[in-house]
Structure 1
Amino acid sequence: MPYVIAEPCVDVMDKSCIEECPVDCIYEGARMLYIHPDECVDCGACEPVCPVEAIFFDDDVPEEWNGYITGNADFFVDLGSPGGAAKVGRTENDPPSIKNLTPMNQS
């Protein structure tokens, strides 16, 4: 898994990263965005445009957010590999570890 989106994205979903992704591998759940581990080409274009600094190379995810590595993979268990987020659109497919979080990042 090349890149992972972590906690700062929960309930924010700025989507600047989606606009930068050349392969359309960033999918939208109900509460956050997820990078498809098999569709990502590891270009890193998404990382610098994230305004909340939620995107990390998988080996660089801060320890307190390591659960988001699993959560990111879990998002795609039922969804599979549809070959692009644009044709899927927003889903309610957040894994329980994300779905059950208390609301956060609210201004």
Structure 2
Amino acid sequence: MTHVVTGLCDGCKYTDCVTVCPCECFHEGERMLFIDPELCIDCGACIPECPVDAIYLDEDVPPEWESYVKLNAEMVEQTPVILVKKSPLADNER
């Protein structure tokens, strides 16, 4: 099992979750974050830190966000690891 960042993060890109991750499994995309399913230890520390409730255990991802399970795995191959908290996107409407 792993945790998954869903589309609720798209356009926000809050990084509060990054600072509590003990295994440095978050990657930074242009408009959202992704979790490396190979590195995630399933601790759940990131879930309460997300102000938009975008992170789910893979088996609990709502049906409308299921495509993000695969997207997270694909995007960690294309995006850099993020280790520090940054400001959310300027156009964040949430």
TM tier relative to shorter chain: 0.7 to 0.9
Whichever structure has more helix as a proportion of its residues is 1
Check whether the contact 2:35–2:76 (CA below 8 A) recurs between aligned residues: no
TM-score, normalization by structure 2: 0.81
TM-score, normalization by structure 1: 0.72
Matching residue of 1:96: none
Matching residue of 1:106: 93
Gap runs ≥5 in structure 2: 84-90
* Alpha-carbon distance in 2 for matches of 1:16, 1:77: 22
* Alpha-carbon distance in 2 for matches of 1:28, 1:77: 11
Larger Rg: 1
Greater relative contact order, per chain length (Cα 8 Å cut-off, separation 6+): 2
* Alpha-carbon distance in 1 for matches of 2:82, 2:6: 21
CA shift, 1:70, in A, is 1.2
What count of residue pairs does the alignment treat as equivalent? 87
Gap runs ≥5 in structure 1: 88-103
The runs of at least 4 consecutive aligned structure 1 residues that moved more than 6 Å come to none
Over the matched positions of the two proteins, sequence identity in percent amounts to 43
